[in-house]
Amino acid sequence: MPVTQPLITINPLEPIPLVEQIVSGIQQQIAQRVLRTGARLPSIRDFAAQHGVSRFTVVDAYDRLVALGYLLSRRGSGFYVAPVTPLQTAVTDTSYLERADDVLWLLHNTFRDVPEAIRPGCGWLPKDWLDQKVIQKSLNELSRKSGGFLTSYGDVSGYLPLRQLLAQKILGEIGIHAEASQLLITNGASHGLDLIARLMIKAGDVVLVDDPGYYTLFGLLKSMGAQIVGVPRGLHGPDIAQLEQLLHIHKPKLFFTNTVLHNPTGTSTSLAVAHQLLQLAEKYGFYLVEDDIYGDFHPQTAVRLAALDQLNRVIYVSSYSKTISASLRVGFIACQAELARRLLDLKLLTGLTSSEINQRVMYQILVEGRYRKHMEKVRNRLAVKRGQVIQALEQCRLTLYTEPAGGMFVWASLGHGRQAAEIASRATRQNVMLAPGNLFRPYQEPSSWLRFNVAHCEGDKVFELLSTA
Amino acid sequence: MPVTQPLITINPLEPIPLVEQIVSGIQQQIAQRVLRTGARLPSIRDFAAQHGVSRFTVVDAYDRLVALGYLLSRRGSGFYVAPVTPLQTAVTDTSYLERADDVLWLLHNTFRDVPEAIRPGCGWLPKDWLDQKVIQKSLNELSRKSGGFLTSYGDVSGYLPLRQLLAQKILGEIGIHAEASQLLITNGASHGLDLIARLMIKAGDVVLVDDPGYYTLFGLLKSMGAQIVGVPRGLHGPDIAQLEQLLHIHKPKLFFTNTVLHNPTGTSTSLAVAHQLLQLAEKYGFYLVEDDIYGDFHPQTAVRLAALDQLNRVIYVSSYSKTISASLRVGFIACQAELARRLLDLKLLTGLTSSEINQRVMYQILVEGRYRKHMEKVRNRLAVKRGQVIQALEQCRLTLYTEPAGGMFVWASLGHGRQAAEIASRATRQNVMLAPGNLFRPYQEPSSWLRFNVAHCEGDKVFELLSTA
């Protein structure tokens, strides 16, 4: 099937010869894993037509890429991406990084900036939904303060006033009582999840995750050699009956779960399920890592596991990357004091401190009430948009998993037996990036579900595509 | 021996009862590992005298700390710090973190802000030697720019203009030729060292390090279960004869070395030694991780390993934490493209991206020439100060290892058979923080050497202390 979308961007006005532009464009696609090992390239004729260049130019470029080892030419069949070139000198990679290969491919694609693409599958809010002025204002205020914080390493646990504000006020408001000494500032929630996994998991360990769930986490755990086992996600949180069966079989040490406005289903764990989860944690002796990065999108005070057990068996992780700015890289862990100390030790050895400049920006945004105002607006805007998208999806005959109480995600099915991955693959060729359900499953098992980010569903193109699917 | 220095700060004007101030002050000292397991506390009489409180208050506070499990009371002998309380519920820590215990204690002490302490043992420049205005100016400029960079994840490899500047200009100037795709921005050099170690080392591996060398690195490697083996540092770099013997015995995969203005000796690897090092790397099949965080303190263009081998067997790591600001957390790795890609994959899984805000601040500082001007000043100021400190040390009858060509460190010996740790311990009680040589040895082997940071040797107190040693 011919690729209708140009593979790379070629600019005939640039002083660089066209052949070189094609060579480096394709090299980059391979490096970024957009083109993966074994992928077939457009035929010479198609490539020429799609990019408005002559066939001779394409032949030249493909030949050069074969000579450089990037492509393989198979007689009569076309050109394919060659297997990854081994390092010039042998490095024995002792991590389990290759086990996360699928997730890595996804991550590279997720972060790739494709101009004019529509991205209903995106995991974060569009640029114009976040408030750049809020960051600018805080940066400006900070630039007018002098002080050692501008140049020094700062507090190893994180900027104390920020930790105090989080402990005394922000966590208090959702029912979690913690001291500043139980908090550790991290470079986003991912860094927090990594520290926890690194401290507590060794290769071969079984770790429980939500199924469906957060794919970067799956990749992280796989790269550490852990065996991940999915706990089916129900309408009110993890399926307790199935969880208990899994606990019988495996003796997991950790269960990573997204309590509020779960990614991708949009469900929130109910009080009753939370209580049962904690009882099982006690009975089977495991820890719950509660990922709460979407909690502030919830219009009411939703239940957190940590509010029930007060950080005894719950390790609470959050961040401001989804709500305010991913560029600040400010997140945190709250847990038992002794565990916080060990995590701090690990953080120190593996990266010393986090940027106090960024922590102060975040502190200003929180303390001046800018965060609260911004989130109110975002929640209201999401509510309106969510209603519209749900209606449109239903018109396209998709079945909703549930109507989420808040947040940006809606989880909808094409119907039993359908493959969401297939429609996603077709959509990509029309520059619409969908997120099919298989991506959110521990081993990319097939799925009829799709995750829609309502804030990214502008225009009719997405729904036209779905209704003809 | 009575402790003459107050252990904690007590403020009688605060509304918090004195007993509580003492309890929380000591808890904090224990949490921060200033007071370690088994340490003896001042007697009740001494503590009362040192802190200007009544003995009854101290008795009350100590009793409460015993009840809370922080202290043990031994009849007739006094009060001691109790062994670390186990976690409330069993966490099996699967890392090798405990192997880095000594380094962790050191790190916590290093980052502790002791007001009025003199810190000749410090590893970075004093606040007033770094230029806060340079950071403020760039922050201010940035605050007036709007753009997606304020809120989004940014380029996974790091801000492209910064990588291009580093690749095309900054590395070029020291003779290293790299493409932007061979560079990966990290959260400081520590993060870079961690990524490399994590990708390439597994528990049980032998890893070579400089002896003496950078203790945080020792802790990092130990916490991964690696066996570190020290390569003696000579006047012109690693001792090649001894290195070859070690290579015969062990088959190490990596040698982490500080080429220019080595910490702690202040020596720089010569061209001849660099050449031999690289020949050995080829012969024995190991990689060199070149830590170049002090390179810009050198007044001339010093030799880098990466400039000889052009990133074939050298993985180059640097950062701006020592020169401009540790609060920005901007560092980078330059290496083979394929290795850079794997390191990027690992970085993505373990923490997604680095703050583009901070990278842009650093970019502005570099591109506007502010970095160059600042470093000229610092180098000149260090040269003067280094001369003065060297003279003063010689007057105290200390023997210099070498007169360093630049940088903040001077390595000097008390004389054969003397224990630097002893004088350091005495100095601490006078609020002078020295860095005895044993800290810089792989297993804290005894040493008669001390590392002096010339920028922190203000006043006569340090030299008075040394001359009476």
Selected for mutation to probe chain B from A88, A352, A354 (highest B CB count within 10 Å) is: A352
Amino acid B110: pLDDT: 81
> What is the per-residue pLDDT for A312?
95
- Give residue A183's pLDDT: 97
Is the N-terminal amide bond of B126 cis, ω within 30° of 0? no
Cα separation, B300 vs B454, whole angstroms: 20
| DSSP symbols for B353-371 | ---HHHHHHHHHHHHTTHH
Judging contacts by C-beta atoms under 8 Å, the chain A residues touching residue B104 are 345, 348-349
The pLDDT confidence band at residue B87, using thresholds 50, 70 and 90, is very low
Q: Measured between alpha carbons, how far is A353 from A160 in angstroms, rounded to an integer?
A: 13
Q: Do B94 and A132 touch (CB under 8 A)?
A: no
Q: Do B349 and A90 touch (CB under 8 A)?
A: no
For residues B453 and B119, is the Cβ–Cβ distance under 8 A? yes
- CA A455 to chain centroid, in Å, comes to 16
Residue of B269, B277, B267 whose CA lies nearest to B244: B277
Calculate the alpha carbon distances from B24 to A373, B31, B86, B226 in Å. 36, 10, 19, 37
Q: A408-454, pLDDT tens digit by residue?
A: 999 999 999 899 999 998 898 888 999 999 999 998 889 999 999 99
pLDDT at residue A16 greater than cutoff 80: no
Q: Residue B315 belongs to what H/E stretch?
A: strand B314-319
Q: List beta partners, residue A215.
A: none
| Residue B293 vs residues A195, A223, B251, B262, B290: alpha-carbon distances, Å | 25, 29, 27, 9, 9
CA distance B71 to B47: 15
Cβ atoms of A368 and A258 within 8 Å: the answer is no
Q: What is the pLDDT of residues A106-136, one digit of tens each?
A: 788 888 877 788 999 999 999 999 999 999 9
Q: B143 and A127: CB-CB below 8 Å?
A: no
Mean of the pLDDT values across residues B202-224?
94
Q: Does the beta-carbon distance from A187 to B143 stay under 8 Å?
A: no
Q: Which residues of A touch B86 (CB under 8 A)?
A: 338
Mean pLDDT of B37-44: 89
Statement: residue B13 has pLDDT above 80? no
Q: Quick check: A328 and B357 CB within 8 A?
A: yes
Q: Considering CB atoms only, which of B149, B188, B219 is closest to A349?
A: B219
What pLDDT score does A66 carry? Answer: 84
Crossing angle between the packed helical segments A356-367 and A370-395, to the nearest 10 degrees: 80
Q: What is the DSSP letter of A85?
A: P
Across the interface, which of A147, A148, A357 has its CB nearest the CB of B358? A357
Residues of chain B contacting residue A133, judged by C-beta atoms under 8 Å apart: 146
Q: Check B156 against A327: CB less than 8 A apart.
A: no
- Strand extents, DSSP E, A342-457: 399-400, 409-413, 435-436, 449-453
Nearest partner of A174 among A298, A330, A335, A333, judged by Cα: A298
Q: Of A87, A127, A144, A150, which to mutate for an interface test with B (greatest number of B Cβ within 10 Å)?
A: A150
Mutation target for A interface from B35, B141, B143, B190: give the one with most A CBs within 10 A.
B143
Indicate if the pLDDT at residue B318 is higher than 70: yes
Contacts of A136 in chain B (CB under 8 A): 143-146, 150
- CB contacts of B327 in chain A (<8 Å) are 149-154, 355-357
How far B297 CA lies from chain A's nearest CA (Å)? 17
Cβ-nearest to A342 among B89, B93, B142 = B93
Contact yes or no for A351 and B190 at CB 8 A: yes
Q: What is the pLDDT of residues A337-374, one digit of tens each?
A: 999 999 999 999 999 999 999 999 999 999 999 999 99
Using CA atoms, how far apart are residues B105 and B55, in angstroms rounded to an integer?
30
Q: Are B176 and B334 in contact (CB under 8 A)?
A: yes
**Distance from C-alpha of A154 to C-alpha of B355, rounded to nearest angstrom:** 17
Strand order across the A435-436 sheet: A399-400, A409-413, A449-453, A435-436
Q: Would you state the structure tokens that stand for residue B293, as one six-digit string? A: 């965080």
pLDDT-derived band at A92, boundaries 50, 70, 90: very low
Cα(B111)–Cα(B127) distance, rounded to whole angstroms? 14
Q: Comparing C-alpha atoms, which of A289, A287, A194, A316 is closest to residue B92?
A: A287
Does A137 sit within 8 Å of B139, measured CB to CB? no
Q: What is the pLDDT of residue A91?
A: 46
- As separate numbers, helices (DSSP H) first and strands (DSSP E) second, chain A gives 17, 14
Quote the tokens at residue B22.
């003492």
pLDDT (0 to 100) of residue A277: 98
- E strand intervals along B226-270: 227-234, 237-238, 254-258
Which pLDDT does position B88 carry in this prediction?
A: 39
Strands A435-436 and A409-413 turn out to be: unpaired
- DSSP H or E stretch at residue B208: strand B206-211
A430 compared with A384, residue with greater pLDDT: A384
Cβ of B348 within 8 Å of Cβ of A188? The answer is no
Residue A2 half-sphere exposure toward CB, CA atoms < 13 A: 11
Which strand (E) or helix (H) includes residue B217? Answer: helix B215-223
- The larger pLDDT score, comparing residue B20 to residue B94, is at B20
Q: Which domains does chain B have, with CATH numbers?
A: 1-92 (1.10.10.10), 116-129+373-467 (3.90.1150.10), 132-371 (3.40.640.10)
- Determine the residue of chain A that is closest to B327 in CA distance: A355
Q: Report angle CA B164, B199, B342 to the nearest 5 degrees.
A: 45
Q: Which residues contact B138 (CB under 8 A, 6 or more apart)?
A: B360, B361, B362, B364, B365, B368, B370
Give the minimum alpha-carbon distance from B241 to chain A in angstroms, rounded to a whole number: 24
Q: How confident is the model at residue B435 (pLDDT cuts 50, 70, 90)?
A: very high
pLDDT recorded at residue B364: 96
Q: What dihedral do alpha carbons B238, B244, B250, B253 form, nearest 10°?
A: 60
Over residues A382-396, mean pLDDT: 97
**β-bridge pairing A399-400 and A314-319:** unpaired
Residue A128 distance to chain B (closest CA, Å): 8
Which residues of A fall within a CB distance of 8 Å from B346? 95, 97, 223
Asked if B70 and B38 count as a contact pair (C-beta separation under 8 A), the reply is no
Cα–Cα distance, A206 to A195 (Å, whole number): 17
Tell me which of A143, A201, A335, A370 to substitute to probe the interface with B (most B C-beta atoms closer than 10 Å). Answer: A143
User: Between A and B, how many CB-CB pairs are < 8 A?
Assistant: 277
Residues with Cβ within 8 Å of residue A236, at least 6 apart in sequence: A267, A268, A269, A270, A272, A273
Output the pLDDT for position B100.
82
φ, ψ at B176 (rounded to 5°) = -105, 125
Whether pLDDT at B93 is above 70: no
- Read off the pLDDT of residues B400-411 as tens digits, 9 standing for 90 and up: 999 999 999 999
Which ipTM was obtained for this model? 0.83
The answer to whether the CB atoms of A111 and B339 lie below 8 A apart is no
Greater pLDDT, B191 or B203: B191
Q: Which of the four pLDDT bands, split at 50, 70 and 90, describes residue B329?
A: very high
**Cα–Cα distance between A86 and A272 in angstroms, integer?**
53
Nearest to B352 among A151, A190, A253 (CB): A190
Question: CB distance A355–B354 less than 8 Å?
Answer: no
The confidence band for B85, taking pLDDT boundaries of 50, 70 and 90, is: low
Return the DSSP state at B440: G
CB contact under 8 A, B199 and A312: no
- Average pLDDT value for residue range A61-84: 84
**pLDDT of B114:** 75
For residues A200 and B94, what is the distance between their CA atoms, to the nearest angstrom?
A: 5
- For A95, the closest chain B residue by CA position comes to B199
Q: What is the mean pLDDT of chain B?
A: 91
**If pLDDT is split at 50, 70 and 90, which confidence band does B180 have?**
very high
pLDDT reading at A94 higher than 70: no
How far is the alpha carbon of A452 from chain B, nearest alpha carbon, in Å? Answer: 19
Please tell me which residue of chain B has the smallest CA distance to A339.
Answer: B87
- A148–B143 C-beta distance less than 8 A: no
Among A349, A371, A456, which would you mutate to test the B interface (most chain B Cβ atoms within 10 Å of its Cβ)?
Answer: A349
